Structure 1
Amino acid sequence: MVHIRELDPSASPLDYYGYELRRAREAAGLTQKALGSIVFCTGSLIGQIETTMKVPTREFSERVDAALGTDGLFSRLVGLVLRSQLPSWFQPYAEMEAKAAYISTFQAQVVYGLLQTEAYARALLGVREDRDLDAKVAARLDRQRLLDRDDPPVAWVVLSEAVLHQEIGGQEVMREQLAHLLAMQERKWLDIQVLPFEAGEHTGLMGSFNLLRFRSDPDIVYTEDFVQGHMTANPEALKEGSARYDHLQAAALSPRDSTALIARVMEERYGNRTGPDGHDMA
């Protein structure tokens, strides 16, 4: 007899998803293999998702909804599942970020999470360990969906020039990432400025930080260290953060000049260079 793992649907969003997937599949009279063939995956993957061994993707969820006629149930659930894969201390910020009408961020070392490519995010999140890496990457990419809404937030991103030169994941990954920044720069409600090395000392030397503004909720400033994030609506912290950000924007290159710098670094540092024998050089 095959042992079927019992799930507690109240244990977590992932358990609830697995429980509902098994219930809906069995109600449709389908085996795991049969459902897998319909949604273009293996029966083994269906089983792993049903028993919380694997985290579902949004694409998988949309296919399951179509196959089982579940009226968008799994497409709605997967957002909760992916958000639950974020670090527990980061989840409150992610919830506020998704509600923000205006996002301002200064990044001193890496590309802002909402602008990262999958390969860049994978390299960054896998620095210390690769356990549950697929789920972590999926969760980060799912956050980016807020930029594709019909009414996206106004986003203003200031990147230290160091971000362009800090090679994450290798040349090919960086070239793709910088090309992605150039493509994102064309969006109506998104602007990217680069703070050049020539700016010297600046108000962001204390580290990266984000400012979120809302239509009805109090504004917040967010910072983080290597242990956890810190989110506050304290008026003095907001005043200081806003002043620092204004100075960073003033010291940074214009969006147009920033685009030119990103393109130049992409070609000069990460472009394909060939040697005398015709082979690519690193």
Structure 2
Amino acid sequence: MVHVRQLDPTASPLDYFGYELRRKREEAGLTLKQLGSVLFCSGSLIGQIETTLKVPTREFAERVDAALVTDGMFSRLVGLVLRSQLPTWFQPYAEMESRATYISTYQCQVVYGLLQTEEYARAVLATGQPANLDAQVAARMERQRILKRERLPLTLVVLDEAVLHRPIGGSEVMRGQLRHLLSLRDERWIGLQVLPFGVGEHVSLAGAFNLLRFDDDPDIVYTEDLISGHMTADTETIREGALRYAGLQGAALSVEDSAELIKGVLEERYGQHTETGQRPLA
């Protein structure tokens, strides 16, 4: 007799997803193999998701909704599932980020998470040697959905030029990442500037930080240390952060000149030729 693992749907979003997937599949009278043939995946994969051994992707959730006619239930649930795969200390920030109406960030080591390609994100996240790398990559991609919604936040990004030169994941990954950054230059609600090496000392040598603003909640400043993140709504910290960010924006290249610098690094450092005036593909 096959032992069927019992799930507690209240244990976590992932457990609830697996519990409901099994319940809806059995309600439809389908075996794992039969549902797999409809979803173009293996029955084994479905079984692993049902028993929380695998984390579902958004694409999988959407296919399940279509196959089992569940009125978008799994597509709505998968966002919670993926967010729960983020490090525990990062989840409160991710929740605040998803509700922000204005995001401004300075990044001096890597591309801001909302602007990372999947391949670049995988290379960055792999440095922490997580046991659930695939799930963390999927969770980071899920975060980026806020830039695709109807009312997306105004997102202003200042990247240190060092970010463009640091070969995260190798040349092929960097080509894709820099091409993606170039593709954002015509986005009305995203502004990307580069702080060039020539600036020398500047107002945020202490490191990266994010400022979030909201319609109905106090502003917050977010910073990270080696192993965790820190949010504060302290008024003086907000004022200091806003002042420093204004200084970074003033010292950085314009959006247009930043795009030219990114294109130059792409061509010279990573061997990607783009014609003058040509829009690289994302």
Please, what TM-score do these two structures have when normalized by structure 1?
0.96
For structure 1, the 5+ residue unaligned runs are: 274-282
Give the distance between the partners of 1:254 and 1:99, measured in 2 at CA. 28
Q: Deviations over 1:38-87 (max 9, x none)?
A: 01110000000000000000000000000001111100110000000001
8 Å CA contact 2:153–2:189 kept in 1: the answer is yes
- The 3-state SS of whatever aligns with 2:192 is strand
CA RMSD of aligned residues (A): 0.9
Q: What letter matches 1:92 in structure 2? A: P
Question: Displacement of 1:122 after TM fit?
Answer: 0.4
CA shift, 1:185, in A, is: 2.0
Equivalent position of 2:127 in the other structure? 127
Q: Which amino acid aligns with 1:214?
A: F
- Pair 1:216 & 2:206 matched: no
Residue 226 of structure 1 and its aligned partner are, at CA, apart by 1.4
- The one-letter amino acid paired with 1:173 is V
**1:189 and 1:138 mapped to 2: Cα distance?**
24
Match of 1:17, as an amino acid? Answer: F
SS at structure 2 position matched to 1:62: helix
Task: Give per-residue Cα distances to partners, 1:2-35, cap 9 Å, x unaligned.
Answer: 1000001111100000000000000000001100
Q: Which residue of 2 aligns with 1:71?
A: 71
Residue of structure 1 in register with 2:199 after alignment: 199
User: Does 2:131 align with 1:118?
Assistant: no
Secondary structure of the residue aligned to 1:212 is: strand
* Whole-angstrom CA distance in 2 between matches of 1:156 and 1:183: 15
Q: Which residue of 1 aligns with 2:155?
A: 155
Runs of 4+ in 1 over 6 A off after TM superposition: none
What is the match of residue 252 of structure 1?
A: 252
- Contact 2:266/2:272 (<8 A) preserved: no
Is the Cα contact below 8 Å between 2:61 and 2:78 reproduced in 1?
yes
Q: Residue 16 of structure 1 corresponds to which residue in structure 2?
A: 16
Identity of aligned residues (%): 68
- Please give the per-residue CA displacement for 1:192-239, whole angstroms capped at 9, x wherever unaligned: 000000001001100000000111110100001111100010001000
CA shift for structure 1 position 130: 4.8
Kept in 2: contact 1:108–1:160 (CA 8 A): yes
Counterpart position of 2:229: 229
Structure 2, gaps ≥5 residues long: 274-282
- 1:218–1:233 Cα contact (<8 Å) kept: yes
Report if aligned partners of 2:13, 2:80 keep a CA contact under 8 Å in 1.
yes
Match of 1:279 in 2: none
Partner of 2:180: 180
SS in 1 for 2:159: strand
Q: Is the 8 A contact 1:108 1:204 kept in 2?
A: no
Aligned to 2:81: 81
Of 46-55 and 178-187, deviating more is 178-187
Distance 2:48 2:185 in 1: 39
CA shift, 1:127, in A, is 1.3
Contact 2:65–2:73 under 8 Å retained in 1? yes
Distance in 2 of aligned mates of 1:156 and 1:142:
20
Q: Is residue 210–residue 222 contact of structure 2 (8 Å, CA) maintained in 1?
A: yes
Q: Is the 8 A contact 1:109 1:162 kept in 2?
A: yes
TM (norm. structure 2) is 0.96
1:6 match: 6
The answer on whether the counterparts of 2:184 and 2:190 sit within 8 Å (CA) in structure 1 is yes
- Per the alignment, residue 98 of structure 2 pairs with 98
Q: Secondary structure at the match of 2:211?
A: strand
AA aligned opposite 1:204: S
Distance 2:190 2:128 in 1: 31
Alpha-carbon distance in 2 for matches of 1:272, 1:86:
33
Q: Quote the residue 1:241 is aligned against.
A: 241
> Which shifted more, 121-130 or 163-172?
121-130
SS at match of 1:111: coil
